[in-house]
Amino acid sequence: MPRSASANLFHNPRDADSREAANWITAHCDGGARGNPGPAGFGAVLEDGKGQVLAELSEFLGVRSNNVAEYEGLLACLNWAIEHHHTHLRVVSDSLLMVNQIQGSFKVKSPDLLPLWQHARSRIAQLQGFEIRHALRHKNKDADRLANQAMDRGTNTKPARTPQGPLRGKVRDGAVHLLGGVTLPEGAIVKVIPE
């Protein structure tokens, strides 16, 4: 049942009875852009309370900013939960900005993000329970992988094959030339360590 705009959108599962707590699903979501803005995509993994994967979401978004891609990932999770009649959603994201904006700790100043924030808040109001928390990127690796796959699909880029350990190469005329036929995707950042 939808809540009024003034109602609290966040509910703690510890306050609910055990039957309601069993209804919670968890979404790990991530969004990114290669360049900011640049080719962007999001990825998400939704799991039930026992850790069983319910869905993997991944979509190329065209040229967008990182923050827009993060919001698109959140919206995809909210839409999936509502369409599949899940009433309690816990979201894990590595976007500190988005998490704080959704929680109301940060104001939304960007005109690009404001309509996405409003749409997310209206979708959250359709749920009976919602939580969102920040996690470091290494704890969100499956969603990150799916976001990168979306960007690869959208740019027709094959994932880089990298050998175990550091890559070897030479710097000539200000450009890094890798040895062994290894290629990196467009926009990859390389740290050069002299031997």
Q: What is the pLDDT of residues 112-153, one digit of tens each?
A: 999 999 999 999 999 999 999 999 888 889 999 999 999 999
Let me know whether 132 and 179 are in one domain: no
Higher pLDDT residue, 14 or 75? Answer: 75
Does the pLDDT of residue 195 top 70, yes or no? no
- The mean of the pLDDT values for the chain is 84
* Predicted local confidence at residue 20, as pLDDT: 58
* Residue 82 included in any domain: yes
Tokens of 124: 């959250």
pLDDT tens digits, one per residue of 166-184: 677 777 777 777 776 666 6
* Residue 6 included in any domain: no
**Residue-wise burial string across 147-156, b where 16 or more C-beta atoms lie within 10 A, e elsewhere:** bbbbbbebee
Q: Range of 125's domain?
A: 13-155
Total tally of structural domains belonging to the chain: 2
* Residue 2 included in any domain: no
* Residue 1 included in any domain: no
Does the pLDDT of residue 15 top 60, yes or no? no
Does the pLDDT of residue 79 top 70, yes or no? yes
Higher pLDDT residue, 45 or 16? Answer: 45
Let me know whether 53 and 137 are in one domain: yes
Cβ contact 30:143 at 8 Å: yes
* Residue 4 included in any domain: no
Let me know whether 53 and 106 are in one domain: yes
Let me know whether 113 and 31 are in one domain: yes
Q: CA 127 to CA 166: how far, in whole Å?
A: 46
Question: For the chain, what percent of residues have pLDDT higher than 70?
Answer: 75
Lowest mean per-residue pLDDT among 33-47, 82-96, 113-127, 133-147: 133-147
Let me know whether 118 and 175 are in one domain: no
